[in-house]
Structure 1
């Protein structure tokens, strides 16, 4: 609008002004013309935008207090005032403004479902099946005010049992990278049909420092629940890389350790159960901001980490190394990392850098085992979403059969072991082997079958193509 002098005046020769604030063209950066010679300047546009944002935030908070966030967070295409879904179809019921799980699979059912997606890791699957079952039974008993002793037992016994409060059993999951820790947590959430969120502990810092507040991990769970806070309050949060916030005892710097022990301290109340205040749009809190209130009492926290070096701490304790001239010198041990992690005690985690208060709030400690060659071959072929099955499905879309020779599967497993990334390396190796074939196949006619051989995995030849 500021091209030449004529643009600054209307057809009557009067200076063009903003119809809202009255400023002329020369006093603002830009004037936008509307119908019937109405103009608005960039400053008024910015002011209007701020007013709309404040109004949306107010609507956001009002809806959140009623258990529903606005429709733009609702994936079900329903207004905010309506339920996001039929609760009974998802194992939930609404009663007295509370959302309660009505059915919990037995530990055997949870274990069987986990086994369909996670190969091996028997100890971890059993421990997590029991812990999750007990946790959600506790949610039902406390939230729905049910009594397990209403079948004609002595009333005095009922009174005694009613006074017992069931503590929350958060889970600490140890194990090398690529052994299925995150997959176990994701599968649990899918079995129970509860909201699930993954948070990265490495991004968390103490309040007041650059980084994320610990309360922001709760916002991810709220968003996973389509903004339904009541439903989010019975969800599962997987906190990954929890070992990266261990206390840095060897830190000789005078600067504060804002991403270590301080974050553990900040997580304590959330893990134990508290009403936390969460910024509705994430980021840091500020005094003028209205906050979402969420009760973490019935949220199950699964904290996972590789805990590199923890096996050496356990070995030092188990080895009983002596000090002095008459002490016995401990010889080299043949105990592998898997056996050592099974013997982990709270004092070992404390020595690693996890504060005692944090260890006490994750009473269920289990571990995933390092994978061997046979485990990796099973992961390639047996789960419902196995890597080999996925590639066979992709080739099937091109009307081509894909076959992996047994020797090829073992070679892929050996290469993944050499990369020391666990099961994560399997897909990238398969991608490298099949990339040229997948590039040529859509434009090549007559191919009916592709066979992946050991030599093709080693890079000595391309997978064999059979025509006919």
Structure 2
């Protein structure tokens, strides 16, 4: 299950994170250790394995410095189920709002989808063969009987005449070749497909929790007979629709559920953002802080380790890795209730981004904004390039705007780049045609963005 981590040392994990995230060395090192510890636990002596609990991490840093991205990339590296929640969306039990257990159910759902996708990939070849036969049957229906009368007889040869069955089989083989060669992709055929699931079921009466509602819907859906309907589609569309259906039939859902629960329990990552919003900034005895403390107390058993009921079965949260994050501008980590503080023993403070960080963010990551815009315009056969001085100027302006208005970290680059390139994006392809080459220079950046710095009322540029 965690074999992918066997060949990833903490240093290699940091190296992978470096491809997408600039700076924040401490945070990367800590999450890399936490990830490697998961593999170490699974390979530890069985007598102590269950006693080794993950060291949950509390990330402290302003918005846009890379907290969420670090957690999300970490889960991708580990091929682990990942879910992000915002603590401020939860309310204390008994009040209207999301139930804290829903984040565990979301994680299990994610895990089931991941395992199901992997299993479908395993049976893809077998499903493709079944689909090919279904498409062939729609084009040339097979003849069941082998005893059909001869359709022709030649006195010049000693060979037995062909039956309807043999002719049909030969025709089918010819069409099978055409299907495989992609010659009939636009031909329309009629196929039977399963009708979409029933719409959500409403229940009148006292409110029900999410788990109970999902179980009732699943039960009603399972009791209803599966209906099919006829659809006339092209062979290319039919292949896509039928491949999904046939692959689903070939996988064992009980096995998927079992594997998904195991994966969520032992490799799952839950990222709790805005944890500072439920921290009490003062020790009042009443007011909104009471509800905030209630949310913390509801989160506590989940983070400590408890059994949560999901529609796929019971999941234990003892070994799920929890990463909490918050800006902590008003509240402090010490304002969290002591029990919850104790469940996040690793504290990491992320640094605010400098002008040099902005320059590197624009230039080096695999998913850099500049590379995204280059790819967008390449789709129109327009070549976009950025001069180094231009990147330096964009970084400088983004840093300055963050300092002047509100520091939203790297997200400011989205605003700046959009402002810089909007005119070009609008003019392609009407005024700027295919094969055009556009070089973004420092002069162009200054010309289009200088007013962002000059204008003190920058509210329109705040995301």
TM-score (norm 1): 0.59
- Superposed, which structure 2 residues align to 1:437-456 within 5 Å? 437-444=424-431, 445=433, 448-456=436-444
Mapped to 2, the partners of 1:110 and 1:449 lie a distance apart of 38
Q: How far did residue 407 of structure 1 move? A: 2.8
Runs of 4+ aligned residues of structure 1 deviating over 6 Å after TM superposition are none
- Superposed, which structure 2 residues align to 1:83-232 within 5 Å? 91=2, 103=6, 105-141=8-44, 145=46, 162=48, 165-226=51-112, 228-232=260-264
Q: How far did residue 448 of structure 1 move? A: 2.1
| C-alpha distance 135-362 of structure 1, shift in aligned 2 (>3 A) | farther
Find the residue that maps to 2:99 and give its secondary structure.
coil
Q: How far did residue 259 of structure 1 move? A: 4.2
Mapped to 2, the partners of 1:117 and 1:163 lie a distance apart of 33
Mapped to 2, the partners of 1:209 and 1:263 lie a distance apart of 10
Q: Is the 8 A contact 1:221 1:237 kept in 2?
A: yes
Mapped to 2, the partners of 1:226 and 1:304 lie a distance apart of 26
Q: How far did residue 174 of structure 1 move? A: 0.9
Match in the other structure for 2:445: 457
What are the superposed Cα offsets for residues 101-139 of structure 1, whole Å, 9 maximum, x if unpaired? 873621111111111111111111112111221234224
| C-alpha distance 204-374 of structure 1, shift in aligned 2 (>3 A) | same
Is 2:245 the counterpart of 1:359?
no
| Counterpart selection for 2:276 from 243, 246, 259 | 243
Find the residue that maps to 2:409 and give its secondary structure.
coil
Mapped to 2, the partners of 1:249 and 1:292 lie a distance apart of 40
Match in the other structure for 1:349: 333
- Superposed, which structure 2 residues align to 1:372-383 within 5 Å? 372-383=354-365
Match in the other structure for 1:414: 396
- Structure 2 gaps of 5+ residues are 114-259, 451-463
Mapped to 1, the partners of 2:309 and 2:363 lie a distance apart of 45
Q: Is the 8 A contact 1:124 1:367 kept in 2?
A: yes
Is 2:423 the counterpart of 1:436?
yes
| C-alpha distance 264-461 of structure 1, shift in aligned 2 (>3 A) | closer
Find the residue that maps to 1:178 and give its secondary structure.
coil
Match in the other structure for 1:314: none
Match in the other structure for 1:273: 305
Match in the other structure for 1:303: 324
Q: Is the 8 A contact 1:245 1:263 kept in 2?
A: yes
Find the residue that maps to 2:282 and give its secondary structure.
coil
Q: How far did residue 258 of structure 1 move? A: 5.2
| C-alpha distance 255-122 of structure 1, shift in aligned 2 (>3 A) | closer
My pick for the range that moved more, 391-400 or 162-171, is 162-171
Find the residue that maps to 2:436 and give its secondary structure.
strand
Find the residue that maps to 2:58 and give its secondary structure.
strand
Mapped to 1, the partners of 2:393 and 2:71 lie a distance apart of 29
Q: How far did residue 168 of structure 1 move? A: 2.1
* C-alpha RMSD over aligned residues: 2.6
Mapped to 2, the partners of 1:215 and 1:365 lie a distance apart of 24
Find the residue that maps to 2:6 and give its secondary structure.
coil
Q: Is the 8 A contact 2:42 2:49 kept in 1?
A: no
Q: How far did residue 413 of structure 1 move? A: 1.6
- Superposed, which structure 2 residues align to 1:8-19 within 5 Å? none
| C-alpha distance 167-298 of structure 1, shift in aligned 2 (>3 A) | closer
Mapped to 2, the partners of 1:165 and 1:386 lie a distance apart of 41
- As a proportion of its length, which structure holds more helix? 2
Q: Is the 8 A contact 1:408 1:454 kept in 2?
A: yes
Find the residue that maps to 2:22 and give its secondary structure.
coil
